[in-house]
Amino acid sequence: MSQAVVILSPSSEPKALEAVFRLFDTPQLQELGDGWKQISGKLVSSFADAKAECDSISGQETLDCNCLKYESFSTNKKLVVFDMDSTLIQQECIDEIAAEAGIQKEVSTITSLAMNGEIDFQESLRRRVSLLEGLSVDVIDKIIAKITFTPGAKELCRVLKKLGATLVVASGGFIPMANYVKEQLGLDYAYANMLEYSHDGKYLNGKVQGAIVDGQRKAEILRQKKAELGLDVVETMAVGDGANDLIMMGESGLGVAYNAKPKVQLMASSKINQTSLQNVLYLLGINKSEQERLLA
């Protein structure tokens, strides 16, 4: 049987740990800090069966129980591609723009349908942007000023950079916000959609300029950067929360669904349902003391 690693989030329920132990021939337990646990060893059944059991434990105990292939877990991640809205930052930027225009309800409804995979992302983006026609471009700076980074985002990026990773934000949002996030977090690349302006440059004209950054494009960005850096798939990681992040997650060595929509959690290779994005580091086996050393 194959080697695997289970990362278990803090829990006061001993049955969860007991259930994880039963997945292994001779389980080895390592305390990662803050209640996080790493259990590794040779599985007594298939990896698919072990992952299904971990998913079941997660559902029953309201904790994160992630079963990871040992090869993916043990390989340093040299390329990490992040979603932006509701991942690196706490806002959905188009919803914030819509709020300024007084059409938040209409736009949020379309956003929810897109993130749950109920309508095509490109169609949804065009529909939402069309509702912004005539809005002053000053709204962009207003939204940037409101951006709130997800707890742990800065720490996660600092640690990954110190470990030598190339960091990318690939967003279905908009390039001014993505560039701001790139600068603030010290990322290497930013990809997002470009809003078209009126001829005098004062207003949004309700259209998107150029190709839309959708799920396929995010995956292309991951593949492109992987090839440029000469990396293997297992050296890559993708982190996001929406249905349009699933393709890049599936093509990465480790896909992480962060506080994601239910459909995304079911399909992603791992999930984190915690307040701090820094907890992603536990999925890489980086314990608390090592995190503190790298952040010092």
Q: What is the mean pLDDT of the chain?
A: 94
pLDDT for 72 equals: 86
Q: What is the average pLDDT across 171-190?
A: 98
Q: Assign 21 to helix, strand or coil.
A: helix
Q: What is the mean pLDDT of residues 47-56?
A: 94
Q: Are 27 and 41 in contact (CB under 8 A)?
A: yes
Homologous superfamily, domain 1-74: ACT domain (3.30.70.260)
Q: What is the per-residue pLDDT for 186? A: 98
Are 257 and 264 a contacting pair, CB within 8 Å?
A: yes
Torsion of CA 180, 184, 190, 193, to 10 degrees: -30
DSSP SS3 for 106: helix
Query: What pLDDT shows up at residue 113?
Result: 83
Q: Is the pLDDT of residue 142 over 90?
A: yes
Question: Which pLDDT score is estimated for 75?
Answer: 86
pLDDT at 1 over 80: no
- Other Cβ atoms within 10 Å of 207 Cβ, number: 14
State residue 74's pLDDT score.
Answer: 84
Task: Reply yes or no on whether the pLDDT at 135 is more than 90.
Answer: yes
- Name the strands in the sheet holding 189-197, side by side, starting at the edge strand that comes first in the sequence: 204-209, 189-197, 166-174, 79-82, 236-240, 254-258, 270-272
Indicate whether 197 pLDDT > 80. yes
- For residue 120, give both structure tokens: 């095509």
Confidence of residue 41 (pLDDT cuts 50, 70, 90): very high
| Cα separation, 41 vs 289, whole angstroms | 23
Nearest one of 74, 9, 13 to 38, comparing CA atoms: 9
Is the per-residue pLDDT at 160 higher than 90? yes
Question: pLDDT at residue 60 above 80?
Answer: no
Domain boundaries, the chain: 1-74, 76-296
Q: Which residue is associated with the tokens 């049987």? A: 1
∠ CA 244-118-120 to the nearest 5 degrees? 55
Reply yes or no on whether the pLDDT at 271 is more than 80: yes
Point out the residues that are catalytic: 83, 85
In the prediction, which pLDDT does 121 show? 86
pLDDT at 165 over 90: yes
For 214-254, write each residue's pLDDT tens digit.
Answer: 999 999 999 999 999 999 999 999 999 998 999 999 999 99
- Arch. (CATH architecture) of 76-296: 3-Layer(aba) Sandwich (3.40)
